[in-house]
Structure 1
């Protein structure tokens, strides 16, 4: 369609040069040509030129001017597809994909066959998962460009993603037969494998197998052919063929655990003794392979297990394999196997100490001196796993005395202290390990993690700074590299230190990383179809659909929700204005001390201000350099800076919490914590239907969960007081759905029944149940207190005891100072290494640090004790 406001030849040539300058990123030249057109009074309001000037300004980072010019151009030429397309590009650069799609659709009203607009529209539709719209757009592109490979592939993929496998396969068949002629290359091979995947996902395994065999000569990935055909044979219950395939695969890679498992399935072995005999065959066939020996231990029973694990342990200790315990740890689920391993390891230590051999038999071969070291190392990890801290420390100290230069020993000693409830000693041992090899990034990261768990955030940043880019603050560089393990740990550390704003900042940074990852997929929509990496592309799309189910996001969302709930309950107060001290009535010595203190405070404030200014300058230089590198990239909008104090003083904390909750309700619906957090938010918002929905979902997962019980009791109490003022329709729905949950019981009856059931066998169940009982019936406080503070529960843990202690201190059981002291004494006897139960002591400064840190060493005792919440991690 010709433009609605055409330019004469001279100006039209200038306009085309603007387009070329934009394509070649020569933005300043493009502005010069636009100025030449717009300086002519006849074309001062030419819509398309104004729009292109705005687009060029957007690429130079002048966003406000860009929007002004594009909107002005659009007002002057509402029927121009160029103006609508440019406006769509502007909206896309701001990640406003829905608005951009509307703009592209308006552009297509005036130019229905514009290939570029259709391509841009299809990319936005697949980005937003508008699969029906994507299919229609790909069909239009297909009809306009039937000879292009991308048209066929995109059209077929649109049907595949919608689940219409037969149509997708027909399009791929037509393309392969009509468009693709030899010679066959890698891209043709990938297309065939993608077509095979479509057939398999439709459930037609026989057809998929025939297709695979028919085109195997044209497929480059021979390993994929074998693995896929083996899967199909198993699906079709053609076990003999599957057996042959997996035996052949084992010849290629005898360490692949999956091949052994599939071969057992093909041989239809179910008896453990048969499986042990099966692994014996492959141990002989592949004598150097570890996989059959390890898998055999999982299946072996009783006497056979003792013989096999003895052989496996001797080999590992002789060779000095550090992850030997981690390799065998899954066997500890069977207590008899754990006892057998313990007996053997203690026997090895005794014999190696006396005679240097694994057993006392005279013909036994003498072992190297390192065998005793690794036996100590294994024993320390073994007893740490059993929570026998004293014996674990005994063996790790023996190992360090044997070989004081082995870094792994110090790491294990730090881990033992962490599990024992002393994160401070834990990080100090990790710090010593890191000092032995400053070039080891793993040890550096491990040490930083332990520092964060001990509440030493600044030291952790300094530790990470050894491996980040010079001239940029460590936190900035870690954020730029999307180092989410550090940020999730830092968020939890700030939460334990009650630094709510910093905790929220880290949580929001992680959330932004996930948004960036989702936006980054935009670049792959056209790339993957162009390069024919179609299977990987489909995998990418499916990964992005469930991206926020990742543990990193769940952890950061949990921290953010907990902090926002706390800030809703206890909002931050404005800092009080400090009054001027009365210097007139002070003694000369006191006045001198005051002046010195004021000078020190002023000097410290100046130093901090100078450091902050220096960091800000470096940050600005860093951002400026990045902008210069990315100049011309309209896809990189500047994000608002995350200011901790501003985040901590959010106007509506519950609404902010819901933003973190929404992805979890969709993608982490199988986790009970998701629904419990949802209830806590909606309980405070007094939304009965959403409260009910959250409770029902949590109740279906685990009706005996302690937090579910608390939610049920509180919901019942809330309904008793609010039901009469509730909307009649809502009240009817709530009452109809609560029958199964409440079973005509009052809140107090529910609390009493819960404490009489199986919940009383767990520490958490006793705490939550007794807390609800005491709240409903204050006269039952002594009984509730006895249940909460008992130490006979099977799942007794340091973290559980800390939660009980926090609950006592917060007054959930009323005033009970004496009971708190008795409970601390009892916990100290039970967990002698846990710092949460040690008497308050002044913090001692490690030798490696000379200056005290405000956020690390000057911490409230209660805050320091709350670091125990990290121990179970």
Structure 2
């Protein structure tokens, strides 16, 4: 369509050259050509030229000038589709997708059949999951370009994503029939058929899906996918006799795939454990070098049969020296009878290997060859892990020390010893042994990462950064490089370490960095919308879209979000003072001598802060230079992404509205992690502080639907009861809803009665007892001694380290008010129960221990 402000032939030819320069990424030439038009007095305000100049400036990183030119161009030519399209491209480069969509729609009003604008619009619609709009746009593209493959595929996919499987299938079927048939079928045609079959399966038409697969299996290149899908469909249809040879053939193809064995047994239609074990025995003889048929029968075998199979399995692993042998059988420890069998066998191996070099006296009497000398070492290693899993620290240390004495150069032994100390509660000693393991092989990135993780658990953030620096880029700090690499395990552990150290701003910085990583991953899918359609990787593309929709349910995000919410709630409860408030508070009513000391201390702190600031400025300059060099290298790339706000810990630790910031992290969890009760308990804590009664009730109901007997849920219900009593005037409509719901929730009982009921129902559950005691004090502060005594009187022999730690933290953080004597008494009891745990040791000795280990580490590092 001609422009509303057309150029004469000469300038029009120059304008076409500008478009060509933009497409060829020759931005400087484009600016020169735009100048030729704009310097002409007649066309200084030509809208489309100004818009194209702005777009070119944006590609050179001059964003403010770019917006200025594009807006001027748009004002001068509001009816130009070029100006609206360019403005949309600018908004898209700033990730303002909703605004960009509006611009594209305005551009289409000026020129409704512009292919490029429609394509750009469809990309934004699928990115924003506007599926209805995406279908309309793909329909329009289909009508304009019915000869292009992408038009058919995009049109079909729009219906598939909306759940209209029948229409999607009919479009693909019509497209398939319109293709010319060749004797040789390529990968793209194969993927198209598999995608069509996926649509048939999702529609629930299993019969049709199986027939489709049988008819077109010869044209599909991915034979493995054909067999797996056919086997699955036969099982769903109950055609077990047909499915059996398919799964048997797949096992022959890959005898280490556990899923194939499960499906084979399902096709066999047997649940008898002895019969299943015999099936695995048959596969053992067919595939003697495969591990799966030897390991899987352990899950179903019982009694003497289990003893026989596990004996053979353990002997084989110990004889060969398989380091992950214990990890492989750890899932069996859910059954006490199996644990007993394994314990008896492993002790028998140990005693017999020490005395005769055989696994048993029967082997010795049969005059079988002796086991290799390493068999004893791996037996000791297994026993250490066995007792560590059972949390018998003394025996675990005894066996791991014997193993280290036997072979002091095996890295796995030091890693296991560190793990034993970690489970015992001595994180400093745990780090010490991981560092010893790391020093034996400094080129092993796994051990390096493990060592760093243990350092972070011991709150040694700086040291962890230094150990990670061995595997990061040299020209930037390790922390910055780990952030660039999206190393989220490090950042989540860092955030938790800072939270324990009460460095709230640093903890929030790490949480926000993790949040940004997930945002970047969601943005990165933009590149795949056209690529996957062109390359016909349709099943993988649909899988990607569905993964991105639930991305934030990943454990990394959950950990970071949970940490951020807890920190923001803490900052709401106890806001940090500003520097001026701290100074005023400190200098008030101080004697002159103390005031002088304080001033000296402040002077030193100021000097140190200035030094740190100078170092930070240097680091920032380096970072800017690094970014500038990267920008120059990528100057011919896409328009640069918007600059994100710098995360400054001091600012983050003093938010204007901490609860709103916490809700920003909570929302994705409420949508994607709604099956986790902790999500709704965190939501309750936020809404409790905001005094949102209906939202508190909603959180309680959701949590109760997941686990009605959760002890923390009981605390929330009591708090809600208390909040209702405190709130005077409540809106009549809100009151109606609350009255209706609380009849079921409280069942006519008050908070004290509910508390006593929980105590009667769960007297042997420490977590329930602890929460009952907490609620008791919350309802009536005069009952503190009774509440404390309730916790103290619980049988310590049944406590785990995690239970004891939680209770001790309650005593020390003021959950039961100020009760220092009770805290000390509880600490002494816990020290007897958990002698290795640092938390329950004398603070001075812990600090000395930590300092000694740090000094040793520094000396080793210098050497």
TM-score (norm 1): 0.94
Equivalent residue number for residue 467 of structure 2: 463
Q: Which residue number corresponds to residue 61 of structure 1? A: 61
CA, structure 1 residues 795+31, in 2 after alignment: closer, same or farther (shift >3 Å)? farther
In structure 2, the residue matched to 1:778 is 781
**Alpha-carbon spacing, 1:581–1:205, altered in 2? closer, same or farther (3 Å):** closer
CA offsets, 1:285-337, max 9 Å, x none? 11111101101111111111111100000000000000000000000101010
Separation in structure 2 between the aligned mates of residue 381 and residue 13 of structure 1, nearest angstrom: 78
Picking from 569, 576, 601, the partner of 2:573 is 569
The CA distance in 2 between the partners of 1:660 and 1:445, in whole Å, is: 27
1:345-370 Cα offsets, whole Å, 9 max, x none, are 11111111111110122224301111
Counterparts of residues 334-733 of structure 1 (less than 5 Å) = 334-361=335-362, 362-363=365-366, 364-575=368-579, 576-577=582-583, 607-631=611-635, 632-634=637-639, 636-722=641-727, 724-733=728-737
State the Cα distance separating 1:203 from its structure 2 match: 1.2
User: Shift in Å at residue 721 of structure 1?
Assistant: 2.2
Q: 1:851 to 1:387 in 2, by over 3 A?
A: closer
CA distance in 1: counterparts of 2:517 and 2:134, whole angstroms:
27
Cα separation, 2, equivalents of 1:15 and 1:148: 29
Q: After the TM superposition, which residues 256-405 of structure 1 pair with which residues of structure 2 at under 5 Å, given as runs?
A: 256-361=257-362, 362-363=365-366, 364-405=368-409
* Partner-residue secondary structure (3-state), 1:832: coil
Check 1:109–1:312 CA distance in 2 against 1; reply closer, same or farther (3 A cut). same
Which whole-Å CA distance do the structure 1 matches of 2:797 and 2:164 have between them? 53
Q: Matched residues in 2 for 1:775 and 1:3: separation?
A: 73
| Matched residue, 1:255 | 256
Partner of 1:856: none
Does the C-alpha gap of structure 1 residues 710 and 599 become closer, same or farther in structure 2, counting only changes over 3 Å?
Answer: closer
Distance of 2:797 and 2:841 partners within structure 1: 23
Distance in 1 (alpha carbons) for counterparts of 2:99 and 2:784:
59
Q: What secondary structure is seen at the aligned counterpart in 1 of 2:459?
A: coil
Counterparts in 2 of 1:602 and 1:138: CA distance versus 1, 3 Å = closer
Provide closer, same or farther for how the CA distance between residues 316 and 150 of structure 1 changes in structure 2, counting only shifts above 3 A: same
Match of 2:761 among 754, 757, 762: 757
Measured after TM superposition, the shift of residue 148 of structure 1 is: 0.5
TM-superposed CA distance for 1:628, in Å, is 2.0
CA distance, structure 1, for counterparts of residue 599 and residue 518 of structure 2: 51
Aligned 8 A contact 1:762 1:795 in 2: no
CA distance in structure 2 between the aligned counterparts of 1:543 and 1:793, rounded to whole angstroms: 45
SS in 2 for 1:78: coil
* In 1, Cα distance between equivalents of 2:443 and 2:80: 60
DSSP 3-state at the match of 2:843? coil
Aligned position for 2:33 = 33
Aligned equivalents of 1:480, 1:190: Cα separation in 2: 35
Note closer, same or farther for the CA distance 1:580–1:694 as it changes in structure 2 (3 Å cut): closer
In structure 2, which of residues 820, 823, 826 is the aligned counterpart of residue 823 of structure 1?
826
Shift of 1:635: 5.1
1:83 aligns with 2:86: no
Which residue number corresponds to residue 156 of structure 1?
Answer: 156
1:128 to 1:793, Cα distance in 2 relative to 1, 3 A: farther
Find out whether 1:233 has 2:234 as its counterpart.
Answer: yes
Report SS of the residue matched to 1:725.
coil
Question: Quick one: structure 1 residues 625 and 646, their matched pair in 2 at CA, closer, same or farther if it must change by over 3 Å?
Answer: same
Deviation at 1:209, TM superposition (A): 1.2
Question: Aligned equivalents of 2:802 and 2:11: distance in 1?
Answer: 75
Matched residue of 1:704: which SS?
coil
Counterpart of 1:7? 7
Q: Distance in 1 between matches of 2:271 and 2:838?
A: 49
User: What CA distance in whole angstroms lies between the structure 1 residues aligned with 2:752 and 2:256?
Assistant: 59
Q: 2 CA distance for matches of 1:607 and 1:103?
A: 49
Give the C-alpha shift of residue 594 in structure 1.
Answer: 11
Alpha-carbon distance, 1:600 to partner: 7.4
Shift of the 795–131 alpha-carbon distance from structure 1 to 2, 3 Å rule, reads: farther
CA shift for structure 1 position 819: 2.2
TM-score norm. by structure 2 comes to 0.95
1:657 deviates by: 0.5
Contact map agreement 1:257 1:291 (CA 8 A) in 2: yes
- Say whether the 8 Å CA contact 2:486–2:517 is kept in structure 1: yes
Maintained 8 Å contact 1:568/1:653: yes
Cα deviation, residue 467, structure 1: 0.4
CA distance in 1, matches of 2:816, 2:760: 19
* Residues 404 and 413, structure 2, Cα contact 8 Å, conserved in 1: yes
For 1:714 and 1:581, how far apart are their aligned partners in 2? 38
Q: How many angstroms does 1:387 deviate by?
A: 0.4
CA contact (8 A) 2:438 2:451 kept: yes
Deviation at 1:18, TM superposition (A): 1.2
Please report how far the alpha carbon of residue 814 of structure 1 lies from its aligned counterpart in structure 2 after TM superposition: 4.2
Q: Deviations over 1:560-603 (max 9, x none)?
A: 00000000110111123399999x9989xx99x99998997687
Pick which of 836-845 and 638-647 moved more.
836-845
Q: 2-side partners of 1:297 and 1:635: how far apart?
A: 56
Whole-angstrom CA distance in 1 between matches of 2:603 and 2:107? 67
Check the 8 A contact 2:504/2:567 in 1, yes or no: yes
Question: Which range moved further: 787-796 or 572-581?
Answer: 572-581
1:105: Cα distance to partner? 0.6
Aligned to 1:137: 137
CA offsets 1:584-623 (integer angstroms, 9 cap, x no match): 9989xx99x9999899768755653443233223211221
- Residue-by-residue CA offset, 1:40-81 (whole Å, 9 max, x unaligned): 121111111111111111111111111111111111111100
Q: Is the 8 A contact 2:61 2:640 kept in 1?
A: no
Distance in 1 between residues matched to 2:599 and 2:547, nearest whole Å: 62
C-alpha contact 1:243 1:263 (8 A) present in aligned 2: yes
* Paired position in structure 1 for 2:804: 801
Q: 1:848 Cα shift?
A: 6.5
Aligned-pair Cα RMSD in Å: 2.3
Which residue pairs with 1:861 in the alignment? Answer: none
